Structure 1
Amino acid sequence: MGAANQDEFDRPGEKVQSPSTLAHVVLRTGNFQQMVDFYIQFLGGSITYGNDFLCFITYDEEHHRIALLNIPGTGKKQPTSSGLEHIAFTFPTVRDLLVAYRQRKHRGILPVWSVNHGPTTSIYYKDPDGNMLETQVDNFDTVEDANKFMTSPHFAENPIGTDIDVEDLIDRMRKGDDEAVLKKRVEIGARAIPAMDEM
């Protein structure tokens, strides 16, 4: 048995063994306390560890999902530089996504873009440093159905999506529209990528 296990270390395999989950994201900031306060509110989270240099924030079973590093001299985010575009957080239902949107709105946290991408219905925000955050719900019940949509002519023509009015979705849900109806993308044809740095 030991020799067989030893062989695993010497076999390249068909691919690298995948991790079991994405654990956390670490953000460098020169705007430490404001970022800490924002992420606690934005995620409905709590601090599991913190000092003047480091803060671990979680909202679920993981000991931290967001870590913030207080690094003096950190410059302003440059929207045109390469690097992380956004962090996405998934909700189980449209109702949960919309309730969280309204709860953030009551706290003065407003979205910068709301869109039905097709595979997801998404509401985007920016943190105090300008990092983009996506809150989303999956529009399809299975990965296979989502993949089928992403290989469709509609998605080939418009992989960006159709802008949505979140307040209208809430009104429609209150009137009894089914979540499946709310998640169906309205097709608008081709569109350009929005200028995220202007949001």
Structure 2
Amino acid sequence: MTVDWDAPAAKVLSPVKLAHVVLRTNQLKAMVDYYKTFLGAEAMYENDVLAFLTYDEEHHRIAIVQMPGTKNKDPQTCGLEHTAFTYNTLTDLLLAYRQRKQKGIQPYWPINHGPTTSIYYKDPDGNMIETQVDNYEDAESATEFMKSKAFAENPIGVDFDPEDFIKRLSAGESESELQRRVEIGPRALPTNA
């Protein structure tokens, strides 16, 4: 195959996937233990300053490194806001929530954004982690909702109670009914994030 390296491009060639995230910490053991539990992950390699963790076919999805001189996270500075992990179904999302709860990992913000139903957590360093399920069958339908008046009015979403959703699913209510966002009007960003 011949490549024209200098051909004008309307856009840069996109990657095929996001491979991994690397987290810098000053408490390696606590972070590694947390992510092993949180993701049901295992270490592919681990030493006193570095760990490579995976939960799927990739050789590592999360790397954690303890760098000398690393200070505690300041949540008021610029940087990565959160990392998100997708589940196939609402039932899977809620089962993982309940399993984490059994292991002492509590969420701090369950919310239906509209395109996704999400449960947020914070790791020992204060990094935010979103677990989510897509609320639409395809990206086009989610994009259509994101272009709607309801989303423009409230791009943040509507809080929900995971325990209430578990009760409602157990009583026979459908996932699709629970994933339909209830409209509450305008909403600002939360102050506890």
Is 2:76 the partner of 1:94? no
Which position in structure 2 is the counterpart of 1:19? Answer: 15
Match of 2:149 in 1: 153
The SS at the match of 1:35 is: helix
Partner residue of 1:84? Answer: 80
* Match status 1:55 vs 2:59: no
Equivalent in the alignment of 2:25:
29
Give the structure 2 partner of residue 188 of structure 1.
Answer: 184
Counterpart residue number, 1:10: 6
**SS across alignment from 1:193:** coil
Q: Which amino acid aligns with 1:37?
A: D
Name the SS of the counterpart of 1:10 in structure 2: coil
Q: State, as a whole percentage, how many aligned pairs show the same letter.
A: 60
Q: Which residue of 2 aligns with 1:44?
A: 40
**2:175 corresponds to which residue?**
179
SS in 1 for 2:80: coil
Ranges of 4+ aligned residues in structure 1 off by more than 2 Å: none
What corresponds to 1:114 in structure 2?
Answer: 110
- Provide the secondary structure at the position in 1 that maps to 2:106: coil
1:134 aligns with 130
CA distance in 1, matches of 2:126, 2:151: 28
The reply to whether residue 125 of structure 1 matches residue 90 of structure 2 is: no
Q: Unaligned stretches of 5+ in structure 1?
A: none
- Over aligned residue pairs, what C-alpha RMSD do you find? 0.9
Letter in 2 for 1:167: E
The letter of the residue matching 1:159 is P
Aligned residues: 193
Per the TM alignment, residue 196 of structure 1 is displaced from its structure 2 partner at its CA by 3.6
Distance 1:195 1:83 in 2: 17
Which secondary structure state, in structure 1, belongs to the residue aligned with residue 86 of structure 2? strand
Mapped partners of 2:6, 2:155: distance in 1: 41
Structure 2: which amino acid aligns with 1:14?
Answer: A
What TM-score do the two structures reach when normalised by structure 1?
Answer: 0.95
1:154 partner letter? A
Q: How far does residue 195 in structure 1 lie from its aligned partner after superposition?
A: 1.5
User: Shift of the alpha carbon at 1:15?
Assistant: 1.1
* Richer in helix (by share): 1
SS state at 1:67 partner: strand
